[in-house]
Amino acid sequence: MDYAIILAGGLGTRTHMSKAKAMLPILGKPMIEYILDSLFKTSLKRIVCVLGKQYSDFNLPSCVDIALQKEQLGTADAVKTAMPRVNDNDGDVLILPGDAPFISSETLEELVKTHKNNNNLLTIGTIRLDSPFGYGRVVREQNRIVRIVEEKDASEEEKQIDEVYSGFVCVNTAILKNSISKIKNQNAQKEYYLTDLVEIVSNIGKVSSFEIKDSFEAKGINDLFSLSLAEQELQKRILQKHMLKGVYIENVNSVTIGPDVTFLGEATVFCGTRVLGHTTIYPEAVLGPNTEIKNSVLYDNVKVSHSVVLDSCIGKESTIGPFAHIRNNSYIGEANRIGNFVELKNTSTGYKTYASHLSYVGDTNCGSGVNFGCGTITVNYDGKRKYTTTIGNNVFIGCNSNLIAPIEIKSNSYIAAGSTIVDDLNENDFAIARSPQITKSSYAQKYNYKRVDKN
């Protein structure tokens, strides 16, 4: 059985943040999730994630084993912590840094394949850099890898080497188990370096390298500034991919598109727009300006402007905004109009239903052809529990109406403006629930309201 070990137990002191470094977001997605997504696409059978003192920051899938490193004594110590969860002496172990999120599944598969095809005991992923400062240098003798030397321990001659260690390692499981305890902390940092494994194994058998051609894939995140630069590069690549397939983006410097967003055809994205999470955009959608969409599906010809759509689906030909808020697993049917300052929460609507302005519709199942007048509210909360409103087809709800849930308004009903409805309505009912108007002639003079005379 082949294993993967992710080293995510570092404190990330250089970020100066309380959150674990591997949980810092890049385009709205934690670093560790990028690594897991790539691993899930490979043929590796088991994943062990080494966490440290900030383990409570993580929410990992149940299929990932967790090993806790009580003290941060170095990368070799972290691997040693994971070894009790690596049960077999057969196969290989792929070791990955938890702060290098951009590695692709294809590169990981190629690294493992190269390791196995060449019968290596140990294979290290390497990259070549014009400015290798800060990286461990790969030291060769007669073209044979003999060790890796860290920046702080390197001689001036060794610092000139441009081939550097990426942090990715594939090693025979039995060799790893037998060798990991031999690593010492005789270095400038007084830590147990996993890189020392290279020198130990090179005295036993074949150690080789696998060059990662795209150095960005092996880019490590050291601090918040390097995270920002890496995010910019990733964003550039994502936008380029979508634009080359027909997605028009008005201003690439003001638009954010996450790594798990899918465009299924032509679309338009205006400035100030963020599309994140597992979002799917169907053809001819128009997003923005100044719009946020996350974990949602927008079908054909949807238009969303100056609005927020979270965890919801918008049916084709519907228009959202400006200044609308759709959230909590709402499903908006086809050809709807959800307009200015309207909020929908956990609500479904049918065909051609309109809520054009200043309404709140929560926990509601609504049919087709319904008109929500301005200021309509479904009153779903009594201070303790949430209740459901059910509305049939072709219902007209007048302005400033309150529907006190739980309630059912059946099809073809009519609710007069200003009504507070507490009882169910049957089909074709007309409901009016407001106090009669009382007018007292000339009575306003009693209150002496300040008047402004125009001269």
Q: How many CB atoms lie within 10 A of CB 222?
A: 15
**CA nearest neighbour of 307 among 294, 290, 282:** 290
Which domains does the chain show, CATH number per domain?
A: 3-218 (3.90.550.10), 224-441 (2.160.10.10)
If you ran DSSP here, which 8-state letter would residue 75 be given? Answer: H
Beta strand pairing call for 331-332 and 364-366: unpaired
The answer, yes or no, to whether residue 241 has pLDDT greater than 60, is yes
Contacting residues for 433 by C-beta, under 8 A, at least 6 apart: 416, 419, 420, 421, 422
Of 295, 301, 331, the C-alpha closest to 313 is: 331
**Mean pLDDT along residues 185-210:** 90
pLDDT of residue 279 exceeding 90, the answer is: yes
pLDDT of residue 87: 83
CB 161 within 8 A of CB 127: no
Q: Picking from 271-285, 380-394, 401-415, 436-450, which range would have the lowest pLDDT averaged per residue?
A: 436-450
Q: Quick check: is 306 catalytic?
A: no
Q: What is the pLDDT of residue 252?
A: 95
CA 172 to each of CA 103, 144, 198: distance values in angstroms, whole numbers, following the listed order = 21, 19, 12
pLDDT reported for residue 1 = 64
Q: Which two tokens stand for residue 251?
A: 């201003």
Looking at residue 10, what is its pLDDT? 83
| CA dihedral over 249, 253, 256, 259, signed as positive or negative | positive
- Is 4 strand, coil or helix? strand
Which range of 36-45, 185-194, 299-308 scores highest in mean pLDDT? It is: 299-308
Identify the pLDDT of residue 396. Answer: 98
Which pTM was predicted? 0.90
Four-residue CA torsion sign, 166, 172, 174, 178? negative
* % of the chain surpassing 70 pLDDT: 99
Mean pLDDT of the chain: 94
- Three-state SS at 408: strand
Q: Any idea which of 12-21, 339-348, 429-438 has the lowest mean pLDDT?
A: 12-21
Query: Would the pLDDT of 452 be above 90?
Result: no
Q: What whole-number percentage of the chain has pLDDT above 90? A: 84
Q: Closest by alpha carbon to 62, among 43, 79, 49, 76?
A: 49
Q: What is the pLDDT of residues 313-346, one digit of tens each?
A: 999 999 999 999 999 999 999 999 999 999 999 9
**What is the torsion angle, in degrees rounded to the nearest 10, for the CA atoms of residue 300, residue 301, residue 302 and residue 304?**
140
Give yes or no for residue 248 having a pLDDT over 80.
yes
Ramachandran class of 329: left when φ > 0, alpha when ψ lies in -120 to 50, beta otherwise: left
Does residue 147 contact residue 136 with C-beta atoms inside 8 Å?
A: no
Task: Give the amino acid at 295.
Answer: N
pLDDT, tens only, 47-85: 999 999 998 999 999 999 999 998 889 999 999 999 999
**What pLDDT is attached to residue 455?**
57
Q: Pick the more confident residue, 142 or 230.
A: 230
Q: Which two tokens stand for residue 17?
A: 């943040």
Q: How confident is the model at residue 153 (pLDDT cuts 50, 70, 90)?
A: confident
Backbone angles phi, psi at 424, to 5 degrees: -60, 150
Between 303 and 444, the higher pLDDT residue: 303
